[in-house]
Chain A
């Protein structure tokens, strides 16, 4: 279960490329059926993705999002948890 002290890091199951202020993500797959899944992360998504370094925990990410986008804590918390949930397949979560 992801909590405020969980530390996410990027797994090797996805290849990413920064393009402008956004990211393009291509998952590694072993089946042709999943082959053409390509995702983009918009600017706030890219901001959060760059915070995932195996050191920042969820709380750090929420604080950084509040500072960067001048939003309230409740919104930032919901956004970070939603992001982590959506990107779950491409993350390794370490619970402290």
Chain B
């Protein structure tokens, strides 16, 4: 197809092949996010071939290719994706490590424009324009544009209340989501969430990570920074600790002080509205009871 719209975390993203661009074939994990509303927040024009980043552009951020095996992060390649800046224009140059062929992509965008350009090289007749890591990078800069928050976290909704569990790698985000796999609970996601302010409250949304993902959202009532413990224990946090711990689990490209200041504002507002606590937990169902009993006490 030549174009389609995705509805992810409340953002309407239009993907459109340019006249020189390829046929577009969204991969399985995006299928449930395709929408037929053309009222887009952002349009991404897809082109075929190589794009040369202007030589005047300065490299501002680098990411090596890291894989996580059993909670251990292993650097597989120094070169993964990099960000370049020339005045208001930003460029992300990335390899597509999960591609069968050696492929590269360049995203040209600006935080004050709603039309971005994506160049894909070595493409077949049909291509998924949001192959890893492009989807995450585009979603991240959409959160920057809107003052939203993208965070490594799992989230569940139960009896109309939303609970978010964030923490460093290996802290048990997926384990926590599995513990809540009980009747009446909606698992929003076990890995990555986007948090957006809606009215006076906050809503957490999932994003396409796995092939069978479909759009889920829930209002957000409580945030837990989790870690494995020898007992189930909830520890209240000071205001600065809440901001610091939530901030340190956010996805963030901290090459620009105004981007950092924007996220700090968003996280500060969030932690004033939604209580944050540390949760040390045992990987067993008693954790869920402990959280729910704590809710009744408050």
Contact = CB atoms under 8 A, between A and B. Distances in A.
Interface in B22-39: none
Contacts of B245: 38
Contacts of A28: 254-257, 260
A24 B247 contact: yes
B15 to A, nearest CB: 25
Nearest to A41: B240
B268 A19 contact: yes
Contacts of B265: 17
Given A15-B261, A20-B240, A22-B238, A32 B248 contact: no
A30 B240 contact: no
Interface size class of A (residues with CB under 8 A): 20 to 34
Interface residues of B, number: 29
A19 B239 contact: yes
A40 B244 contact: yes
Interface in B237-279: 238-241, 243-245, 247-250, 252-257, 260-261, 263-265, 268
Interface string A22-42: 111011111111111111110
A38 B244 contact: yes
Given A15-B260, A19-B268, A32 B64 contact: yes
B248 A38 contact: yes
Interface of A: 12, 15, 17, 19-20, 22-24, 26-41
27 contacts: A12-B257, A17-B264, A17-B268, A19-B243, A22-B239, A22-B240, A26-B247, A26-B254, A26-B260, A26-B263, A26-B264, A28-B254, A28-B255, A28-B256, A29-B255, A30-B60, A30-B255, A31-B61, A32-B61, A32-B62, A32-B63, A35-B252, A36-B248, A36-B252, A39-B244, A40-B240, A41-B240
